[in-house]
Chains A and B, each alone.
Chain A
């Protein structure tokens, strides 16, 4: 769906921006009310610029921004509503609290000027209660912890009764424990808001946890938008796959197409791999393919199952890292001439007594194998060298 085709009853946020300089942009975004859209991508990919364009803090050379029935920007008509009139709630990365004002005044300043003084105080106190800051009204920002400051910033954004909520890496300036708590609180709070919410984040796990929709940006261009699961399991290109840190990414070619059996057979380093049917590729086409680490099935020696017949392979464990109950097991698979990662619950690792140097066999689930147009995987031109998301393969 493009911006021009959207009817006027649409109540979400639409933005389309295009320019070649000073910052290259070619992005389009549709955000539904009540849904959280996460913008992800490497540093300098234009995430924050896109967010600032929505707020009116940055004016692209060509673009349109519409929120519900209200047009905020249309460069073709030289129409540009100033930030003050856009009704955006913006949580900045550094929170940008006014240091000379108390918590209450920081929130009250954003209450609509038409509200009279007693009511604006009441409204501000109510918003502070919603973010669990009751009792801190008369403190100054420097007297608060990072997490409390973040909630004041969120309260100020909400006090405006915004038509859209914009969050620019709001959890990056707090410690990990606070970040986890704040994410949960934000998730609960935003679920009750019936407005579009746009979150800029570097953290893919954060995006996957909070977002209903994820948009991958690279060099100012929106490469793919979809649910976090869609993007992580079915990236449209190898570039998207790299940007969202898909670890099991390989090259191969189409050996056989059997649409009636919902089968595309791949040839990968001389091995045959069955995938669900990808009719857009022809036999002998070079392709790239990926599989989610959680879709690699470990074969249990004690209890063989039918799943073992599905693309079975074996290899030696070369790395085993456990974080938060999930073990990431990297296997050197000689048949594929590649390293493959699988995510297993810690108890599975424990029960199977897995350790580095141990040989295991596993299956690649047919329905979880995803094919993409071929691009050389060792080509570094697509992704920046300093791209934090590109895994060192």
Chain B
């Protein structure tokens, strides 16, 4: 069992979920209640990682974040390091890759809130910020929990994108799924099996929790 890779995956998932919580809430709320030209395009971009092969996404990440790209050069000049083959790069890639898993449940939850409920809050004297905390958040908490659990589990299990962007450097970018792949390549079936069963149980518990919590929040 490669505990280092396991902890790295946990750390990567935690960072990704923390960023996606904020980003997902903003994007989901915006998409749920605003009508604007090109909304379908934005929704398409957000959902794209669902259907795009992870290697393709990883390849474009390398192109966009690499030393030769304007963005890569800008990041390197500001931070002094490149995002490619680094933990920060992994977080960035994971955020993009898991974005639809965070946005979709939150979007559905926000869309389920009738507009009159927010208007009733305003008529009751609540500011928009109070309305968000006291009315919207309690009603979308099921969706937010699902989004966080799914994003966490999805990041734990991601392989193609992290391999392309991170390169599998032990202690820096080698996550548990890459470690399993490496063990299989080295014919270490015992370690690969142990890590796989840990990941399997973890995924099963997460998905079960999403269903249980989702059902409870509907009651």
In the complex, A56→B119 CA distance in Å? 10
A88/B123 in contact, CB under 8 A: yes
Residue of A nearest to B123 (CB): A90
Assess whether B75 is interfacial by the CB under 8 Å rule. Answer: no
Q: Chain B, 147-167, contact with A by CB distance < 8 Å: what is the 0/1 string?
A: 000000000000000000000
Known contacts A96-B114, A96-B117, A98-B135, A110 near B122 by CB under 8 Å: no
**Closest CB-CB distance, B67 to chain A, in whole Å?**
50
A100/B124 in contact, CB under 8 A: no
A160/B124 in contact, CB under 8 A: yes
A interface size (C-beta, 8 A): 25
**Closest CB-CB distance, A152 to chain B, in whole Å?**
11
Known contacts A90-B119, A94-B116, A96-B114, A160 near B125 by CB under 8 Å: yes
In the complex, A166→B119 CA distance in Å? 13
A94/B125 in contact, CB under 8 A: no
Pick from A96, A98, A99, A112: contact of B119, CB under 8 Å: A96
A100/B123 in contact, CB under 8 A: no
**Closest CB-CB distance, B210 to chain A, in whole Å?**
20
A83/B123 in contact, CB under 8 A: yes
Pick from A57, A98, A157: contact of B117, CB under 8 Å: A98
Scan residues 106-147 of chain B and give those whose CB is less than 8 A from a CB of chain A: 114, 116-117, 119-127, 134-135, 138-139
Pick from B122, B124, B134: contact of A156, CB under 8 Å: B124
A84/B122 in contact, CB under 8 A: yes
Assess whether A109 is interfacial by the CB under 8 Å rule. Answer: yes
In the complex, A113→B127 CA distance in Å? 11
Pick from A87, A92, A109, A112: contact of B116, CB under 8 Å: A92
Known contacts A94-B114, A94-B116, A99-B139, A113 near B123 by CB under 8 Å: no
Interface residues on B, range: 10 to 19
Known contacts A96-B114, A100-B139, A109-B134, A55 near B125 by CB under 8 Å: no
**Closest CB-CB distance, B61 to chain A, in whole Å?**
40
**Closest CB-CB distance, B182 to chain A, in whole Å?**
48
Number of A-B residue pairs at CB separation under 8 A: 54
A83/B120 in contact, CB under 8 A: no
**Closest CB-CB distance, B113 to chain A, in whole Å?**
10
B124/A57 in contact, CB under 8 A: no
**Closest CB-CB distance, B144 to chain A, in whole Å?**
14
Assess whether A68 is interfacial by the CB under 8 Å rule. Answer: no
In the complex, A217→B134 CA distance in Å? 37
Scan residues 2-60 of chain A and give those whose CB is less than 8 A from a CB of chain B: 55-57
Residue of A nearest to B139 (CB): A100
**Closest CB-CB distance, B120 to chain A, in whole Å?**
4
Assess whether A228 is interfacial by the CB under 8 Å rule. Answer: no
Name the B residues within 8 Å of A82 (CB-CB): 122
Assess whether A315 is interfacial by the CB under 8 Å rule. Answer: no
Known contacts A94-B114, A96-B114, A100-B138, A57 near B119 by CB under 8 Å: yes
**Closest CB-CB distance, A379 to chain B, in whole Å?**
37
Name the A residues within 8 Å of B139 (CB-CB): 99-100
**Closest CB-CB distance, A81 to chain B, in whole Å?**
12
Known contacts A94-B114, A100-B138, A109-B134, A84 near B120 by CB under 8 Å: no
Q: Chain B, 53-64, contact with A by CB distance < 8 Å: what is the 0/1 string?
A: 000000000000
**Closest CB-CB distance, B134 to chain A, in whole Å?**
7
Residue of B nearest to A142 (CB): B219
**Closest CB-CB distance, B132 to chain A, in whole Å?**
13
In the complex, A156→B122 CA distance in Å? 12
Name the A residues within 8 Å of B119 (CB-CB): 55, 57, 83, 90, 92, 96
A96/B127 in contact, CB under 8 A: no
Scan residues 73-87 of chain A and give those whose CB is less than 8 A from a CB of chain B: 82-84, 87
A84/B117 in contact, CB under 8 A: no
Residue of A nearest to B117 (CB): A96
B127/A84 in contact, CB under 8 A: yes
In the complex, A100→B139 CA distance in Å? 7
Assess whether A170 is interfacial by the CB under 8 Å rule. Answer: no
3 closest Cβ pairs, A-B complex: A110-B124, A96-B120, A96-B116
Beyond A83-B123, A90-B119, A160-B123, 13 additional contacts (C-beta under 8 Å) are: A56-B122, A82-B122, A84-B127, A92-B120, A96-B114, A98-B117, A98-B120, A100-B139, A109-B124, A110-B124, A112-B125, A156-B120, A157-B123
What are 18 A-B pairs at a CB distance below 8 A? A56-B122, A57-B119, A57-B122, A83-B119, A87-B125, A89-B123, A92-B120, A96-B117, A96-B119, A96-B120, A97-B120, A98-B117, A100-B139, A109-B124, A110-B123, A156-B124, A160-B123, A160-B125
